[in-house]
Structure 1
Amino acid sequence: MIARRRRGSAVPDTKFTIPHRIMAAASAHGDAVAIRGEDGAEVRYRDLEPLVRGVAKAFIAAGVAGGDRVAIWAPNATGWIIAAIGAQAAGAAIVPLNTRLKGREAGYILRTSGAKLLLTVADFLGTAYPQLLAGEYLPDLRDIVLLEGDEGGLPWQDFLDRGAALSDDAVDARMDALDADQVCDILFTSGTTGNPKGAVTTHGQNVRLYLAYGETLGYGPGDTFLIINPFFHSFGYKAGWLVALMRGATVLPHAIFQTDKVLERIERERVTLLPGPPTIFQSLLAGPYERFDISSLRVSITGAASVPVALIEEMHEKLGIDVVLTAYGLTETCGTVTMCSVGDDAATVANTAGRPLEGVEVKLIDAAGEVVAPGEAGELLVRGPNVMQGYFNDPAATAAAIDSDGWLRTGDIAVQDARGNVKITDRAKDIFIVGGFNAYPAEIEGLLAANPAVMQSAVIGVPDERLGEVAKAYIVLRPGASATPEEIIAWCRDNMANYKVPRRVAILDELPMNASGKVQKFLLRDAGEEKRPESAKKPTYPSSSP
């Protein structure tokens, strides 16, 4: 276990819901800085309760009822956090959307979740998010609210003004109705069936898991937590700002990774906590890190594709990070299943995902469902308080994922050593990792089906020097249609998130099929001599991309 250095949050006993725990932390850490934006604007802990209450009133005034869904489609920022907690204080469940999604993809999630409100921004990196939804059928969506900007939706201040006349009693009633078993969020994760599915988790699951997570890591007052991991992902949301605020640390939202700016911010803000995928640290090591004073760095959690032992050693020796650990989890497990501990050597940290967290069980089974012997490969199953309630409005998918005894099938192949360390060796699910994001061939194929020139497609992951793997699409055109690989790629860039976009396209007369009509993708891979890289054999942390 990690030594509790400068720790010991004095948060009083309270309900196990996110708003209650955040407000308890606000009371305990009053004058400390809770959030500091990239522009330097600060929110102190004492300010959290009135800010959250003001947002909750606005949601109530907008007609959001307990159990309703509120979607958030925006980059990391202070407003994202306050809006999320305010929505949850009003009794709603948040539905975070990946900022890389295109209109068709976001529309599907908004329709499926039945979101009543969408919180977004007028523009981010040249993308006008409200405009992407033009033409999408969204029968449940009442309004688009802009966290930033004033084009394409209701400006944030106007939204807040609508709730200003409500009394605190209205918020108190919603907070009193909240309990640990109420749904706090639905994170959509793509699947092998093609369409994203919404993993439903409750307040109590997440609060208990991440209070323990933060205690294990020694997070607390005096820590400054730079969060580059996106808030739409459980790594940036749950293992990010949620655990930090519950433990009394200072959160630094960061929207775009740029090596020099991150190094400068680490120095200026005296950052102590910096989690992220290996690519972040590889970029920092390749940058001018020696020109900056980054000696404040204390703890990092990493994971994703295979982590070189040398990287762990360089994070210690060159970046000066005291504690470097790896972990593994899925969206369906609130983001965390296993984690290394401070006593583990660099080889263990690099080559395994650590041991199950307290209260979490894992087992490995063979194709017949029998538990395998230690050291043998099997599909990893997880059971515990971190396992989701199920997929939103999808009992069939839920039953396929979680058995009657509560075991969640991860679809990942692993081995477990004598100490209990889990090493992910392969994937049963047909996913590949593009620069830290999980890409699902079936989903990409489903999106390609909307192209008027495409009759059939088969997508595989192929090696890429920079991103690890990228999509390659094999296309059969419709009779009479014509399209070049370049035109297909251009269409994809307009209709899907960039990490899903095939970097290569091959147009074929037909796809290789077996007797049951299933595409034999191994023949496509063998024909192109495109073997999956060894680094593709360990899933991202967390292993499902929302």
Structure 2
Amino acid sequence: MAPAHVRSKPLDQDLHAVSELAAACKWSNAPDHALDQGGPLFRPYQRMGVDFADIPVVDHLKSVTTRHPDKLAISDGTDRLTYAALLQAVETLSRRIAAVVPDGQAIGIFLANSAWYPVAMLASMAAGRPAVPLNTRDPRSRIDEIAATARLSAVMCLGSADQAGWTQKIRWIDVAAGGMPAGRRTPAPPLSRSVSVEAPAIVLYTPGGTGHPQGIVNSQRSLLRRVQHYVDACHINAEDVFLPLAGLATIAGCREILAALLSGATLHLIEVEAVGLRAVRGRMRADRVTVTCLAPALLRPLLADAAVDAFRSLRLARIEGEAVSWTDIAPLRQAVSKACLIQIGYGSAAANAAQWFLPPDWPDHGPSVPAGRLLPGLSFAIVDEDGRPVRPDESGELLIRGPDVLLGHWDSGTVMAAESDPDDPALRIVATGDLARLDDQGLLRIVGRKGGQIQINGAVAAAPAGNRLAPRQDDTLPILFLLPGSVGYGPSFAAFAASMGKVARVAPVRYPGLQQILSGQNSLAAIATAAIGQIDRTQPSGSVRLLGHSLGGAVAFEVAARLLAAGRSVTFLGILDTSIVGEPRDYRETLIRTIHRIRTNRVTASRMVCRALAKVTVALGCEARLARILDRHPKGQFNATCFRIKLELQEVLRSRAFFAWLAGPKPMLPITATLFRCNRPGMPEALGWDRAFTRLDVVPIAGGHLDLIVEPHLATNRPLIEKAVAETYSPAETGKREKGS
């Protein structure tokens, strides 16, 4: 399951097994508690009534528009909609949808984070047609697969630019045809029928256990219940200003849109990947944003270079989408005002399960922040592998039961109903796949996972080898250990790992952190030792497959040498553009590239200064002293700078370990390796690896050293990497893979 932790095991769950568990397990009701416990005290807001989830979304929107017709509802930096204009746009578009999409069929939304996205989502609900959000940044092959699986005959878009290159016949609905509504609402004739809140409203596609897209269906009622839990807990009102940083094509993005617009708040939208983090910080400050929602993977870089006042307007920061560690909380607390509340959320597209406000003085025990208190109205069970209840002090798989979880799964244009409780068919069941326990304070703690996937901002990614929150992947696939560069395992590598899910269970490896490096684990040999420990825990026996990028290529080589010496086999060793020979330096080209990266928001001038300081400090041998100084000065604007300097110091020290390793002798390994090589003019084709293996295959790839695993180059490079990995599979492994897919 996920937002704050690991994601749910949706469509690939064994429904027969779930039925047996439901019949055998003992259900407990989630303890009743005030949703705003530990939250805002005296903030006025309009409490959602007991019948809030029984009223269609468009009727709620009409009520809000009556109260705030001329108030700004949505802004994306270009287009602005008042509530009156928003409702007019929704009603107009809903009639166009109803006219071309047959009742019961779904409609796609192929839109970026613009003012038109909420219009499209709300219009599909008003028309009673399930919406299928399509991430415009996904590879076209995935989008085509979702469109085919969902049986989409119509898709909403903006203009004609997005209509090219689709593999199936699609009827396009340009949401902006006729222009942006202006001024007050013009009354429109009502639709021919009302829409049931129990009907399918939105279909959110996840890769599922096999990597194939599979749709989770939610009704308006289930979406509205999420909104109610959010609004009543956080006292959201019309004075709030939202800037959600969760993807709009995720369950968190849907909730943020509805919570803002059904409360009369103002919703700002931004395309993070297009504008960069600097622009996000600027919008936060300029628009006086009060509420944001994001995943830890985005939180860390967002805080790293921020000015002291960038987030001071926030009164609420909700964190979800993956495991939340205590190291994520400390910099966030120092970046926001003391009055800002931090809310942790835990759930998935299948079920909203828990949330809580993290107290400022809560002790940071354990590897991760507690997931929260189970939400009132849910039933739960924590069971062992045989479906028997565990003792209070033991962990087991968490099962959720309730009337507001997923309706089922979208299969070829129809809803395949979720498993229900045999004794009460109105209660549907979600087997989360998470290993959990309740502590003595009633807080849910996620302690593990049956397999290996996590979510980052709604996207499925592989969990690090040895991570206690290892998520679930297809257990039939061989494991591929991913060794990152000196920066470590960040969002780009998480997305890359997720994209490889059809070919392998990707297990990224963590390197020693700054404190461990300063404590003596400061060589590539030490990094390899840490990597082997994670490999042995994740895959104690059998053939090992390794894929390393930059520094990770050298670590993979060292790991392979040790595994072979210990008698284990290495059937795949892939190297992503790592060079072990000197590269001619063109300082003019380096300067031009750096200026371009600053101008395009890929790196900031302040970060370059922090990196320069880290390099100078390491050159002088004063890294330990600098780290101590940074630890003694955690307050004020210097805090964000401290955070960035530590990251740069860690990277520089890892790079130093790499260059020290380059100077030493290297054995020739009796295996075949594959070098995925970017275009490097003036460099030897093998980048020095031809003397390190009995055979080396060189595969040219697109992009440069820093962006070879991100779009647009990932679409070209991933199939090449997947093909090389799959070619090492034995007939038995190939059979399991084909059976699993």
Question: Which bracket does the TM-score occupy, shorter chain normalised?
Answer: 0.7 to 0.9
Paired position in structure 2 for 1:451 = none
Paired position in structure 2 for 1:31 = 70
| CA distance 1:462–1:340, change in 2 (3 Å) | same
| CA distance 1:444–1:27, change in 2 (3 Å) | farther
- How much has 1:366 moved relative to structure 2? 0.8
Paired position in structure 2 for 1:422 = 444
Q: Counterparts in 2 of 1:492-531, with a 5 A limit? A: 501=718, 507=725, 510-511=728-729, 518=736
Paired position in structure 1 for 2:507 = 461
Does residue 220 of structure 2 align to residue 203 of structure 1?
Answer: yes
- How much has 1:489 moved relative to structure 2? 6.8
Q: Which of 368, 374, 381 in structure 1 is aligned with 2:392? A: 374
Q: Counterparts in 2 of 1:226-375, with a 5 A limit? A: 226-238=243-255, 240-256=256-272, 258-290=276-308, 292=309, 294-320=311-337, 322-333=340-351, 336-341=352-357, 343=359, 345-347=361-363, 350-375=368-393
AA paired with 2:258? L
- The answer (yes or no) to whether the contact 1:33–1:44 under 8 Å persists in 2 is yes
- The answer (yes or no) to whether the contact 1:102–1:132 under 8 Å persists in 2 is no
Q: Which structure 1 segments of 5+ residues have no match?
A: 148-155, 447-453, 477-481, 520-546
- How much has 1:465 moved relative to structure 2? 6.9
AA paired with 2:67? A
Q: Distance in 2 between matches of 1:278 and 1:82?
A: 28
Q: Which of 220, 226, 230 in structure 1 is aligned with 2:237? A: 220
Which deviations, in whole Å up to 9, do the C-alpha atoms of 1:395-450 show, x marking residues without a partner? 9996886664632111222222122222222222442556863137659989xxxx
Give 1 or 2 for the bigger CA radius of gyration.
2
| CA distance 1:408–1:500, change in 2 (3 Å) | farther
| CA distance 1:311–1:494, change in 2 (3 Å) | closer
- The answer (yes or no) to whether the contact 1:58–1:160 under 8 Å persists in 2 is no
- How much has 1:493 moved relative to structure 2? 7.3
Does residue 85 of structure 2 align to residue 47 of structure 1?
Answer: yes
Q: Distance in 2 between matches of 1:88 and 1:310?
A: 40
Paired position in structure 2 for 1:407 = 429
Q: Which of 73, 77, 92 in structure 1 is aligned with 2:110? A: 73
| CA distance 1:29–1:397, change in 2 (3 Å) | closer
| CA distance 1:508–1:309, change in 2 (3 Å) | closer
Q: Counterparts in 2 of 1:460-479, with a 5 A limit? A: 460-463=506-509
Task: Report which stretch shifted further, 64-73 or 214-223.
Answer: 64-73
AA paired with 2:132? V
Q: Counterparts in 2 of 1:428-447, with a 5 A limit? A: 428-433=450-455, 437-439=459-461
| CA distance 1:117–1:445, change in 2 (3 Å) | farther
Q: Which of 106, 131, 145 in structure 1 is aligned with 2:164? A: 131
- The answer (yes or no) to whether the contact 2:110–2:156 under 8 Å persists in 1 is yes
| CA distance 1:167–1:310, change in 2 (3 Å) | closer
- The answer (yes or no) to whether the contact 1:55–1:160 under 8 Å persists in 2 is no
| CA distance 1:186–1:373, change in 2 (3 Å) | same
Which deviations, in whole Å up to 9, do the C-alpha atoms of 1:201-230 show, x marking residues without a partner? 111121133123211111111110111211
Q: Counterparts in 2 of 1:148-159, with a 5 A limit? A: 156-157=176-177
Q: Distance in 2 between matches of 1:499 and 1:4?
A: 53
Q: Distance in 1 between matches of 2:345 and 2:720?
A: 30
- How much has 1:60 moved relative to structure 2? 2.9
TM-score normalised according to structure 1 size: 0.75
- The answer (yes or no) to whether the contact 2:343–2:356 under 8 Å persists in 1 is yes
| CA distance 1:500–1:273, change in 2 (3 Å) | farther
Which deviations, in whole Å up to 9, do the C-alpha atoms of 1:443-472 show, x marking residues without a partner? 9989xxxxxxx9x94342223679xx9x97
- How much has 1:71 moved relative to structure 2? 0.6
- The answer (yes or no) to whether the contact 1:411–1:428 under 8 Å persists in 2 is yes
- The answer (yes or no) to whether the contact 2:300–2:328 under 8 Å persists in 1 is yes
Q: Distance in 2 between matches of 1:117 and 1:278?
A: 35
Which deviations, in whole Å up to 9, do the C-alpha atoms of 1:3-43 show, x marking residues without a partner? 3544323889775222122222222333322112223x432
- How much has 1:347 moved relative to structure 2? 4.2
Q: Which structure 2 segments of 5+ residues have no match?
A: 1-36, 463-472, 479-499, 513-533, 535-544, 548-570, 574-672, 678-698, 703-707
- How much has 1:78 moved relative to structure 2? 0.6
What is the count of residue pairs matched by the alignment?
A: 474
